[in-house]
Amino acid sequence: MKTALILSYLGADYHGWQRQENAMTIQQLLEEAWEKTCGGKAYLSGCGRTDAGVHAKYYVASTDAPTTIPLDRLPMALNARLPEAVVVHRAVAVDDGFDARFSCVCKEYTYLIHNSRTRDPFYTDRAWFYPQKLDVAAMRRAARDFVGTQDFAAVKNEGTPVRSTVRTIFYCEVEERGCDIIAVRVCADGFLYNMVRAITGTLVYVGVGKIPQDGIPAILRSGDRLAAGPTAPPCGLYMTALTYNREELDGRAD
């Protein structure tokens, strides 16, 4: 049997999920905490890579490394060896064929924009400060055109090569959450490199009138990254929901 960990983390001080040679990552922190707690080497497969500075309110990682610690006590034992920015909430037994990344059916990311004339220090590294007033109704209308199975090359930055830039977006929604916060929620069967951040930047350009609210279909048909908006900074991006079609693992952050 394997073990799946449900966790959350603030990524401001870390270089994403995946291990790197010269930078601290969430994967390295967890693997080192597991090895010190349970003994023996451990490899943890994460549900998504997440870039430097990106956060996760709901994240799943899996490992086949053995442990003699009861699963109801394992989170507390691991948390004792983790920094405050990383917290394991639950540990769940899963079958040998399970993998946190490849078994995931769909993921949701939420991007937070602080749309205010003045900065708020409590949103530093937590949201994108954007002082120019945004037309949320126009953004909401444009967001609907990202939904469906389409070629999303126009909102993909250069990164690891992929066989196809076609993905299925199940919903793309723009919400006002009070305190000058605008949230962009995107759920898909998979994401291209910086895809949500590029979608957010494109919707922001819609919100300030640089892109017409009915201009998204033409941008996507063009496949031209330069036709879309900028890539939003990493600080406002959160992984917020995962679906495995397994009750013990499916979840959404509040």
Answer whether 53's CB lies under 8 Å from 11's CB: yes
101-126 burial code (b ≥16 CB/10 A, e <16):
eebbebbbbbbbbbbbeeeeeebeeb
Contact 167, 150 (CB under 8 A): yes
Please say if 95 is a catalytic residue.
no
Assign residue 137 a region (left: φ > 0; alpha: ψ between -120 and 50; beta: otherwise): alpha
Pairing of strands 148-151, 128-129: unpaired
Q: Return d(Cα 111, Cα 143) in angstroms, integer.
A: 13
Q: Between the CA of residue 49 and those of 2, 16, 55, 56, what are the distances in Å? A: 20, 7, 11, 11
Of the candidates 51, 99, 125, 135, the residue annotated as catalytic is 51
Token code pair at residue 190: 């998979």
Check if the beta carbon of residue 156 is closer than 8 Å to that of residue 195.
yes
For 165, left (φ over 0), alpha (ψ -120 to 50), or beta?
A: alpha
The sign of the torsion formed by the CA atoms of 147, 153, 158, 161 equals positive
* 3-class SS shares of the chain: helix, strand, coil, % to 5: 25, 30, 50
The set of catalytic residues is 51
